[in-house]
């Protein structure tokens, strides 16, 4: 009897476990379906707007919140879901987007870079030409924005804001102590001389660099090439017909800078810690996109022109190296009607002001009232509007395809993250971009 | 007699035939019985318990591996659908020709072997020390095991700080000892060993616990007999105790090797991205980069298969060993 009872109970137990497992599986798959099934209202005007972006921390998160708030104000009736996916820069967002597009479950829109970066989404992006037309974006955006948001003859995305890439920031008191006038640095060689002066006159790091990822070095390459070899050479490089001598000369300057004037712990720190060196007065210069300035604004008692300053990267005066934060529009859209409304909103003055003033970037429209922005961004906006040339960036999607960008970063990782091998890096870069 | 025999034969045939024709309506010969005969008496009755998980695992694990292998034979990249009509080994030849892949494979292998051996050695040493009836034994055991309970994300950040060139605790120690500072993460010749050291720190406690269980299972008589025979402590462990820890060694090393293959999490958290420092790229990180940065699905699948074969090369002999011992 007891034996039988035992057996029975064990059987029941196993059976119950099996049932629970099955129920769990069913629940999981049901949940999964539910997640993407939320877009049930295909077509029509309904459907939930689902937007993916990577602004999870600091300025980005504040800016994204401001964007959502402005959107709710403008379109109170649209059901929406803004999902931030952070980590690894944009890497995790890109991976999630890639999976969802691959599985035919696209979001309504996702944050990304336009330009050649669109090529990786070849065939899965829809056409937002009607939004561009209705809202008259072509008339209010700079020509580069108009060009870079098209692929195969159709608009694929709408820009939200723009950062500037060819920036050099400095700590005012450190450069003053060294006796360097940043405004006089109008060539890369003058810049290297200034780094030498900082090194001999002060205890500070001449140039702080966070190289735990390779992107900072690739980015520095692009500004240095633009500043030293000029606009044409840089554009030839992006277009796939690089002048090997120009690439080599750029790497020689870089090797001199990185080999002599950067912090010893560059390889173990990233941008945030590197930027902290400027705020704390441990370093004189940093090259970065102007998102770096967001950290200065958030630092206490650290004001523009008094404590930190901006200089166009030496040699690239009069140019604005472009970066765009845009929203890309997947075809087979789960909520086409509301997505169009969202896209129209993204390019509107309300959205661009709300987002960019917190993000530390500027509107891509040239007709926006800049009074809400601080003095630094107002100057940036003027530079943007009046720039002689607006070359696309190398590291953030506008200059080369994502595959080329990976190849360039492979080269930086294996040949140019110390020791600095100019020959191999030159060869690698030329091979990577050449058609 | 012959008649009888004939009738006997006849009747026998008739019976056999009759039996055959009768049987399906009865229960003597059926697929269920045949299956039970072939695979054991409870095969069909018990199938309701093992069959669902068997099918699920078969589909989601082995099915996925086979599918992955198929994708690796295509040229699939970007969005859309793979073309299964044109299968070849191009991705594998491409991998073997690419220095990045070869470096990553070599690094994976070094990490695998080096990390496992050192961790086992350290774990054994700790286990023997803890097993010698020391005071605060439980406290030490907990302390050594604690790193194992931390996530890779946490430990990677710890070590990123500790390996910092200027203010990392390790360089403070080395420079105060007069050894100078070392660029642990920036020097491509060193970084893999630095990563290995960090992983070893995290998993030595696990190896210790496995060995400790093995040591506890050895009867006290063995220690006493060795002592009576006049063996020194070192000799006793070397000749009597350690040889009995073979089982612990094998099971611990399989787990450790699998952890070494999964070092992706650690490297990802160390740099906050898919690209580890130069010199520390492993197959797992390269695979993710190819898949998600470049959308080279087929090539990433080929790397995944290479990684899978490496894992199989480790787990296979272990399974064979267990099978020979009758544990499977």
Is residue A16 in a domain? no
Residue among A323, A321, A284, A106 nearest A201 (CA)? A284
Q: Do A270 and B186 touch (CB under 8 A)?
A: no
Half-sphere exposure of B84 (CA within 13 A, CB side): 6
DSSP state for residue B292 in the 8-state scheme: I
Domains held by chain B: number:
1
Phi, psi of A402 (to 5 degrees): -65, -30
Say if residue A13's pLDDT is above 80.
no
Q: Is A272 on the interface with B (CB under 8 A)?
A: no
By CB neighbour count within 10 A (0-12 exposed, 13-18 middle, 19+ buried), where does B219 fall? exposed
pLDDT in tens, A139-148: 999 899 999 9
**What is the 3-state secondary structure of B227-242?**
HHCCCCHHHHHHHHHH
And the tokens for B258? 């699998």
Q: What DSSP line would sit under A28-54, residue for residue? A: HHHHHHHHHHTT-S-SSS-S-EEEEE-
Confidence of residue A224 (pLDDT cuts 50, 70, 90): very high
- Point out the least confidently predicted range of A61-70, A185-194, A296-305, B16-25: B16-25
- The boundaries of the domain holding residue B243 are 90-324
Half-sphere exposure of B194 (CA within 13 A, CB side): 29
Confidence of residue B12 (pLDDT cuts 50, 70, 90): very low
Tell me the residues of B at the A interface, defined by beta carbons under 8 Å apart.
Answer: 48-49, 52-53, 56, 78-80, 100, 160, 163-168, 181, 183-188, 268, 270-275, 277-278, 281, 288-289, 291-296
And the tokens for B189? 């010749």
Say if residue B5's pLDDT is above 50.
no
Confidence of residue B259 (pLDDT cuts 50, 70, 90): confident
Are A138 and A248 found together in one domain? Answer: no
Is residue B2 in a domain? no
- Point out the least confidently predicted range of A45-49, B135-139, B181-185, B305-309: A45-49
- State the pLDDT at residue B32: 80
Residues B153-165, mean pLDDT to the nearest whole number: 91
Is residue B84 in a domain? no
Nearest residue of B to residue A413, measured between CA atoms: B278
Q: Which residues pair with A262 in a beta bridge?
A: A207
Say if residue B15's pLDDT is above 50.
no
The mean pLDDT of chain A is 88
Are A110 and A179 found together in one domain? Answer: no
Q: Do B78 and A123 touch (CB under 8 A)?
A: yes
Please give the Cα distance from A360 to A372 (Å, whole number): 12
Given a contact cutoff of 8 angstroms between Cβ atoms, the answer to whether A147 and A274 are in contact is no
- State the pLDDT at residue B36: 80
Q: Smallest Cβ distance to B52: which of A22, A87, A413?
A: A22
Is residue A91 in a domain? yes
Is residue B289 in a domain? yes
Are A374 and A405 found together in one domain? Answer: no
- Point out the least confidently predicted range of A125-134, B133-142, B319-328: B319-328
pLDDT in tens, A231-250: 999 999 999 999 999 999 99
- State the pLDDT at residue A37: 36
For residue A419, cis peptide bond before it (omega within 30 degrees of 0): yes
A38: left (phi over 0), alpha (psi -120 to 50) or beta: alpha
Residues B28-33, mean pLDDT to the nearest whole number: 74
Given a contact cutoff of 8 angstroms between Cβ atoms, the answer to whether B316 and B325 are in contact is no
Are A156 and A173 found together in one domain? Answer: no
Confidence of residue B262 (pLDDT cuts 50, 70, 90): confident
E-strand ranges in chain B read none
Determine what percent of chain A is predicted with pLDDT higher than 90: 76
Are A179 and A109 found together in one domain? Answer: no
pLDDT in tens, A147-165: 999 999 999 999 999 999 9
Given a contact cutoff of 8 angstroms between Cβ atoms, the answer to whether B150 and B241 are in contact is no
Say if residue A33's pLDDT is above 50.
no
- State the pLDDT at residue B179: 86
Confidence of residue A15 (pLDDT cuts 50, 70, 90): low
Please give the Cα distance from A65 to B256 (Å, whole number): 44
Please give the Cα distance from B190 to A147 (Å, whole number): 46
DSSP state for residue A167 in the 8-state scheme: E
Q: Do A212 and B277 touch (CB under 8 A)?
A: yes
- Point out the least confidently predicted range of A14-28, A76-90, A323-337: A14-28
- State the pLDDT at residue B181: 87
* Distance in Å, alpha carbon of B293 to nearest chain A alpha carbon: 7
Residue among B124, B133, B193, B131 nearest B163 (CA)? B193
Is residue B129 in a domain? yes
- State the pLDDT at residue A405: 93
pLDDT in tens, A354-370: 999 989 899 999 899 99
- State the pLDDT at residue B239: 87
Q: Does B115 or B24 have the greater pLDDT score?
A: B115
Given a contact cutoff of 8 angstroms between Cβ atoms, the answer to whether B274 and A95 are in contact is no
Are A290 and A428 found together in one domain? Answer: yes
User: In a mutagenesis test of the B interface, which of A12, A98, A267 is the best target, namely the one with the most B β-carbons within 10 Å?
Assistant: A267
- State the pLDDT at residue A36: 38
Confidence of residue B166 (pLDDT cuts 50, 70, 90): confident
Mutual angle of helices B297-324 and B99-130, in 10-degree steps = 40
Q: Smallest Cβ distance to B272: which of A123, A213, A266?
A: A213
Residues A302-319, mean pLDDT to the nearest whole number: 95
Is residue B191 in a domain? yes
Are A180 and A278 found together in one domain? Answer: yes
Say if residue B195's pLDDT is above 50.
yes
Is residue B63 in a domain? no
Q: Does B196 or B15 have the greater pLDDT score?
A: B196
Given a contact cutoff of 8 angstroms between Cβ atoms, the answer to whether A397 and A115 are in contact is yes
- ∠B263-B66-B74 over CA atoms, to 5°? 95
The mean pLDDT of chain B is 86
Say if residue B2's pLDDT is above 50.
no
Residues B279-286, mean pLDDT to the nearest whole number: 92
- State the pLDDT at residue A17: 56
Given a contact cutoff of 8 angstroms between Cβ atoms, the answer to whether A188 and A314 are in contact is yes
- State the pLDDT at residue A31: 38
Please give the Cα distance from A373 to A370 (Å, whole number): 5
Is residue B177 in a domain? yes
Q: Is A121 on the interface with B (CB under 8 A)?
A: yes
- The boundaries of the domain holding residue A202 are 168-319+401-433
Burial A152-185 (b: 16+ CB within 10 A, else e): eeebbbbbbbbbbbbbbbbbbebbebbebebeeb
Phi, psi of A396 (to 5 degrees): -120, 45
Say if residue A38's pLDDT is above 70.
no
Are A205 and A311 found together in one domain? Answer: yes
Is residue A17 in a domain? no
Are A328 and A307 found together in one domain? Answer: no
Say if residue B19's pLDDT is above 70.
no
Residue among A101, A288, A315, A13 nearest A189 (CA)? A315
Are A264 and A333 found together in one domain? Answer: no
Q: Smallest Cβ distance to A123: which of B80, B160, B288?
A: B80
Given a contact cutoff of 8 angstroms between Cβ atoms, the answer to whether A109 and A336 are in contact is no
Contacts of B295 in chain A (CB under 8 A): 98, 120, 402
CA A412, distance to chain mean position in Å, is 19
Domains held by chain A: number:
2
E-strand ranges in A172-324 read 205-207, 283-288, 308-312
Is residue A30 in a domain? no
Are A233 and A291 found together in one domain? Answer: yes
Say if residue A321's pLDDT is above 70.
yes
Say if residue B4's pLDDT is above 80.
no
Looking up residue A296, the CATH number of its domain turns out to be 3.40.190.10
* Distance in Å, alpha carbon of A283 to nearest chain B alpha carbon: 14
Looking up residue B247, the CATH number of its domain turns out to be 1.10.3720.10
Q: Does A90 or A275 have the greater pLDDT score?
A: A275
Are A159 and A294 found together in one domain? Answer: no
Pairing of strands A80-84, A49-53: parallel
Say if residue A76's pLDDT is above 60.
yes
Q: Which residues pair with A317 in a beta bridge?
A: none
Nearest residue of B to residue A25, measured between CA atoms: B56
Say if residue B28's pLDDT is above 80.
no
Q: Does B180 or A159 have the greater pLDDT score?
A: A159
Say if residue A435's pLDDT is above 80.
no
């Amino acid at each position: 009897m007891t034996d039988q009872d035992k057996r029975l109970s064990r059987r029941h137990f196993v059976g119950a476990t099996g049932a629970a497992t099955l129920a769990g599986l069913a629940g999981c798959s049901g949940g999964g379906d539910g997640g993407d099934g939320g877009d049930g209202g295909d077509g029509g005007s309904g459907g939930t707007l689902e937007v993916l972006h990577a602004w999870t921390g600091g300025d980005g998160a504040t800016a994204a919140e401001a964007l959502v708030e402005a959107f709710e104000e403008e379109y109170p009736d649209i059901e929406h879901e803004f999902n931030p996916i952070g980590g690894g820069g944009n890497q995790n967002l890109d991976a999630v987007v890639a999976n969802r597009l691959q599985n035919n479950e696209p979001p309504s829109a996702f944050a990304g870079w336009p330009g050649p970066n669109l090529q990786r989404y070849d065939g899965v992006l829809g056409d937002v030409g009607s939004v561009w037309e209705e809202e008259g974006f072509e008339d209010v955006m700079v020509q580069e924005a108009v060009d870079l948001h098209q692929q195969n003859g159709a608009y694929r995305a709408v820009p939200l804001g723009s950062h500037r890439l060819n920036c050099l920031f400095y700590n005012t008191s450190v450069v003053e102590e060294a006796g360097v006038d940043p405004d006089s640095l109008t060539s890369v060689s003058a810049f290297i001389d200034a780094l030498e002066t900082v090194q001999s006159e002060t205890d500070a790091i001449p140039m702080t660099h966070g190289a735990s990822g390779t992107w900072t070095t690739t980015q520095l390459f692009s500004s240095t090439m633009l500043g030293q070899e000029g606009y044409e050479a840089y554009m030839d490089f992006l277009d796939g017909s690089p002048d090997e001598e120009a690439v080599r000369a750029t790497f020689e300057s870089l090797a001199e800078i990185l080999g002599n004037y950067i912090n010893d712990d560059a390889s173990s720190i990233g941008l945030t810690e590197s930027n902290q060196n400027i705020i704390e007065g441990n370093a004189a210069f940093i090259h970065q996109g102007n998102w770096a300035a967001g950290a200065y604004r958030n630092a206490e008692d650290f004001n523009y022109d008094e404590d930190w300053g901006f200089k166009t990267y030496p040699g690239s005066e009069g140019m604005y190296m472009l970066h765009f934060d845009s929203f890309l529009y997947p075809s087979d859209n789960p909520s086409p009607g509301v997505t169009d409304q969202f896209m129209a909103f993204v390019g509107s003055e309300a959205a661009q002001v709300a987002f960019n003033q917190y993000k530390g970037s500027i509107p891509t429209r040239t007709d926006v009232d800049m009074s809400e922005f601080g003095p630094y961004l107002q100057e940036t906006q003027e530079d943007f509007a009046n720039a002689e040339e607006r070359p696309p960036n190398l590291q953030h999607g506008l200059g080369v395809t994502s595959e080329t960008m990976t190849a360039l970063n492979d080269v930086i990782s294996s040949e140019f993250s110390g020791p600095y091998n100019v020959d191999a890096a030159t060869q690698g870069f030329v091979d990577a971009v050449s058609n | 007699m012959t008649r009888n025999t004939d009738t006997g034969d006849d009747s026998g045939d008739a019976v056999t035939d009759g039996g055959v024709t009768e049987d399906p309506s009865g229960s003597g010969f059926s697929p269920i019985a045949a299956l039970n005969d072939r695979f054991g008496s409870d095969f069909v009755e018990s199938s309701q318990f093992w069959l669902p998980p068997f099918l699920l695992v078969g589909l989601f694990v082995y099915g996925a591996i086979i599918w992955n292998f198929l994708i690796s034979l295509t040229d699939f990249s970007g969005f859309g659908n793979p073309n299964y009509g044109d299968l070849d080994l191009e991705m594998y030849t491409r991998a073997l020709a690419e220095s990045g892949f070869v470096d990553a494979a070599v690094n994976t292998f070094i990490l695998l072997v080096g990390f496992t051996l050192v961790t086992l050695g350290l774990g054994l040493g700790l286990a023997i020390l803890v097993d010698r009836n020391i005071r605060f034994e439980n406290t030490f055991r907990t302390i050594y095991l604690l790193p194992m309970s931390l996530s890779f994300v946490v430990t990677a950040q710890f070590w990123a700080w500790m390996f910092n060139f200027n203010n990392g605790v390790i360089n403070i120690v080395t420079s105060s000892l007069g050894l100078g500072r070392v660029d642990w993460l920036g020097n491509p010749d060193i970084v893999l060993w630095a990563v290995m050291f960090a992983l070893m720190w995290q998993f030595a406690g696990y190896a210790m616990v496995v060995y400790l269980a093995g040591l506890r299972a050895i009867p006290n008589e063995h220690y006493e007999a060795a002592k009576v025979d006049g063996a020194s402590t070192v000799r006793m462990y070397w000749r009597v105790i350690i040889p009995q820890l073979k089982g612990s060694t094998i099971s611990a090393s399989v787990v450790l090797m699998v952890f070494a293959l999964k070092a992706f999490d650690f490297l990802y958290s160390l740099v906050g991205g898919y690209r580890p420092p130069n010199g520390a790229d492993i197959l797992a990180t390269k695979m993710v980069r190819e898949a998600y940065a470049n959308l080279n699905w087929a090539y990433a699948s080929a790397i995944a298969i290479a990684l899978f074969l490496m894992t199989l090369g480790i787990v296979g002999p272990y399974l064979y060993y267990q099978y020979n011992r009758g544990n499977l």
